[in-house]
Amino acid sequence: MQTKIDRGILLVISGSSGTGKGTVCNSLRKRRPDLEYSISATTRSPRAGETDGVEYFFLTRDEFKRKIEAGDFLEYADNYGNFYGTPRDKVLELLNLGKTILLEIDVQGAHQVQKNYPDGVFIFLLPPSIEELKRRIIGRNSETEESIQKRLSIVNDELESGKSYNYVVVNDEVERAVDEICAILDAESLKVGRNLNLFDELVKNS
Ligand code: ADP
Ligand code: 5GP
C-alpha cells in the first residue's frame, strides 16, 4: 500500500565513536537511495580520499565560529578538539519537502537535536560489547592512543543518554543492523500523524 508522507522524517543515528555509525549509515544509504544525507561541516582536516562537500564541508575554526554565531547549525559539537555541525537550512528545507533525512552525529549533537526537534526519530547504535567496541576503535587505525582513551572514557555516559532515544539497534552484523533500521523507517512512515492526508482525501472524496 502506497503511503504519502505529509512531513519528512528526521532520522538521527548516533552512538559512541567506533560503534559503526559510519559503516552502518553507508550501507543504509546504498539500500535506501531515497534517503537524503545531511553533509556536516567540520574543522578537522580531510582524511585521504575525502573531498570537500562530499563527506564533509571542511571549514577553518574561524569560519565555523562565524556560522555558530549566525545560528547556521541545527546542532554542533566540539568533538575531541574539532567542531562538527549540521547545517540547519538544508535540513529544514528537505523536511518541508517531505524527504527523509539521515543525520549521523555524535551523542552530544543528538542531544541538542532532541531538544530542538523532538519529532525526530532517534536510533542509538550499540556495540555488541565494550570489548568489541575497543577492538573496532583500535582496529580502525585512525586515532592516536590519547584520542582512543578520550573516546572510551565517555562511553558509559553516552550509553546512559542512549536510554532517552526512541530505538536501539545492536551493530553486531552490519546488514542485520541495517535490516532493523529499515524496519524502523517503514513503521515510522506508517504513523497516523505522518499520513493525515490519507484520511482527509477519503473524507473529501466521500
Ligand atoms: P563510528 O562511525 O561509529 O565511529 P565506524 O563506522 O568508523 O564507527 O566503525 C569503526 C570500525 O568498526 C571500522 O573499522 C569498521 O569497519 C568496523 N565495524 C563497523 N561495524 C562493524 C561490524 N558490524 N562488525 C565488525 N566491524 C565493524
Ligand atoms: P569523524 O571525524 O570520524 O568523521 O567523526 C567523528 C565523530 O563526529 C563521529 O562520531 C561522527 O558521527 C560525529 N559527527 C559527524 N558529523 C557530525 C555533526 O554534524 N554533528 C555532530 N554533533 N557530530 C558529528
Give CA 91 to chain center in angstroms: 12
Mean pLDDT over residues 102-120, rounded? 95
- Domain hosting residue 118, numbered range: 10-38+100-204
The DSSP line for 111-127 is: HHHHHH-TTSEEEEEE-
Tell me whether residue 5 is in a domain.
Answer: no
- Which ligand 1 atom lies nearest to the CA of residue 104? 2
Q: Determine whether the shortest distance from the Cβ of 151 to ligand 2 is under 6 A.
A: no
Cell numbers found for residue 66:
562565524
Q: Who wins on pLDDT, 43 or 196?
A: 43
pLDDT of 4 over the 70 cut: no
**What pLDDT does 1 receive?**
45
Residue 59 CA to residue 85 CA, distance in Å, equals 11
**Strand arrangement, sheet containing 56-58:** 56-58, 40-42, 82-87, 73-79
**What pLDDT does 2 receive?**
45
- Which ligand 1 atom lies nearest to the CA of residue 25? 6
3-class SS at 4? coil
Residues with CB under 6 A from ligand 1: 17-23, 136, 139-140, 171, 173-174
Beta strands per DSSP E along the chain: 10-14, 36-37, 40-42, 56-58, 73-79, 82-87, 101-104, 121-126, 167-170
For ligand 2, atom 7, which residue shows the shortest CA distance? 106
* Unique residue bearing C-alpha cell 562538527: 84
Beta carbons within 10 angstroms of residue 191's beta carbon: 13
Domain harbouring 177, CATH code: 3.40.50.300
For ligand 1, atom 12, which residue shows the shortest CA distance? 136
Tell me whether residue 136 is in a domain.
Answer: yes
**What pLDDT does 69 receive?**
97
**What pLDDT does 47 receive?**
86
Q: Who wins on pLDDT, 7 or 128?
A: 128
Is the distance from CB of 24 to CB of 115 less than 8 angstroms?
no
Domain count within the chain: 1
CA-CA-CA-CA dihedral for 95, 101, 107, 112, to nearest 10? -10
pTM comes to 0.93
**What pLDDT does 6 receive?**
55
pLDDT of 3 over the 80 cut: no
3-class SS at 153? helix
Tell me whether residue 88 is in a domain.
Answer: no
Tell me the best of 140, 147, 176 to mutate to test the pocket of ligand 1, counting ligand atoms within 8 Å of each CB and taking the most.
140
Q: What digits encode the pLDDT tens for the residues 124-182?
A: 999 999 999 999 999 988 788 888 998 899 999 999 999 999 999 999 999 999 999 99
Tell me whether residue 104 is in a domain.
Answer: yes
Tell me whether residue 109 is in a domain.
Answer: yes
pLDDT of 122 over the 80 cut: yes
Tell me whether residue 153 is in a domain.
Answer: yes
For ligand 2, atom 9, which residue shows the shortest CA distance? 106
Tell me whether residue 155 is in a domain.
Answer: yes
Look at the chain and count its residues: 206
In the chain, count H helices and then E strands: 9, 9
Q: How far is the CA of 8 from the centre of ligand 2 (A)?
A: 22
Q: Determine whether the shortest distance from the Cβ of 158 to ligand 2 is under 6 A.
A: no
Q: What digits encode the pLDDT tens for the residues 34-84?
A: 999 999 999 999 988 999 999 999 999 999 999 999 999 999 999 878 999
- Which ligand 2 atom lies nearest to the CA of residue 38? 19
Tell me whether residue 45 is in a domain.
Answer: no
Q: Determine whether the shortest distance from the Cβ of 79 to ligand 2 is under 6 A.
A: yes
